[in-house]
Amino acid sequence: MKRLGLLYLAAQNLRRKPFRSFVTIAIVGLAAGTLFSATLLIGSVDRSLEVGMERLGADLLVVPEGYQESGQTALITGAPTSFYMDGAVLGQVSSISGVDQASPQLFIESMVSSQCCTGHVQIVGYDPGSDFVINPWLAQNLNRTLNPDEVVIGSLILANKGEQVHFYGHNFDVAGVLDATGMGADESVFMSLDTAYLMAAESAQVAESPLDIKPGTISSVLVKIAPGANIDQVSQRIKTTVPGTMVITANELSRSVTDRISGFKRGFIAVDAIVWVMSLLTIAAIFSMIVNERQREIGLLRAMGSTRRFIFRLMLAEAVILTAAGGIAGIFVGGAALFIFKTVITSSLGIPYLWPPILTFVELTFITLSLAVFSGAVSSLYPAISSSRLEPYAAIRQGE
Partner 1 sequence: MTDEARTDDAMIVLKDLSKAYKVGPSTVRAVDSVDLEIPRGQMVSIVGHSGSGKTTLLSLMGGLTKPSSGRVIIDGINIWNLSDKEMSQLRNEKIGFSFQFASLMPTLNAMDNVSLPSTFSGRPHDNSRAVNLLKLVGLEDRIYSYPEQLSGGEQRRVALARTLMNEPRLILADEPTGDLDEETEADILEIFRRINGEGVTIVIVTHSRAVASQAERALRMHRGHLSEEADVGASRP
The DSSP bridge partners found for residue 98 are none
User: How many Å apart are CA 77 and CA 121, to the nearest integer?
Assistant: 11
Select 59 or 318, whichever has its Cβ closest to partner 1. 318
Site for partner 1 in 192-251 (CB under 8 A): none
The Cβ-side half-sphere exposure at 134, using a 13 Å CA radius, reads: 29
Q: How big is the site for partner 1, counted in residues (CB under 8 A)?
A: 29
Site for partner 1 in 371-400 (CB under 8 A): 391-394, 396, 400
Task: Report the candidate in 1, 72, 40 with the shortest Cα–Cα distance to residue 330.
Answer: 40
Integer distance in angstroms from the first to the last C-alpha of the chain?
A: 33
Q: Shortest distance, CB of residue 356 to partner 1, whole angstroms?
A: 42
Element holding 306 (H helix, E strand): none
DSSP 147: P
Select 16 or 144, whichever has its Cβ closest to partner 1. 16
Which residue among 139, 206, 303, 367 contacts partner 1 (CB under 8 A)? 303
Site for partner 1 in 14-53 (CB under 8 A): 15-16
Stretch that binds partner 1, among 7-15, 95-103, 112-120, 158-166 (CB under 8 A): 7-15
Select 10 or 275, whichever has its Cβ closest to partner 1. 10
Stretch that binds partner 1, among 108-116, 273-281, 302-310, 358-366 (CB under 8 A): 302-310
Q: Shortest distance, CB of residue 30 to partner 1, whole angstroms?
A: 27
Q: Does 12 help bind partner 1 (rule: CB under 8 A)?
A: yes
Q: Does 327 help bind partner 1 (rule: CB under 8 A)?
A: no
Q: Is 23 left (phi over 0), alpha (psi -120 to 50) or beta?
A: alpha
- As a three-state string, the secondary structure of 61-130 is EEEECCCHHHHHHHHHHCCCCCCCECCHHHHHHHCCCCEEEEEEEEEEECCCCCCCECCCCEEEEECCCC
Which residue among 24, 203, 306, 365 contacts partner 1 (CB under 8 A)? 306
Q: Does 7 help bind partner 1 (rule: CB under 8 A)?
A: no
Q: Which residues bind partner 1 (CB under 8 A)?
A: 1, 3-5, 9, 12-13, 15-16, 296-297, 299-310, 391-394, 396, 400
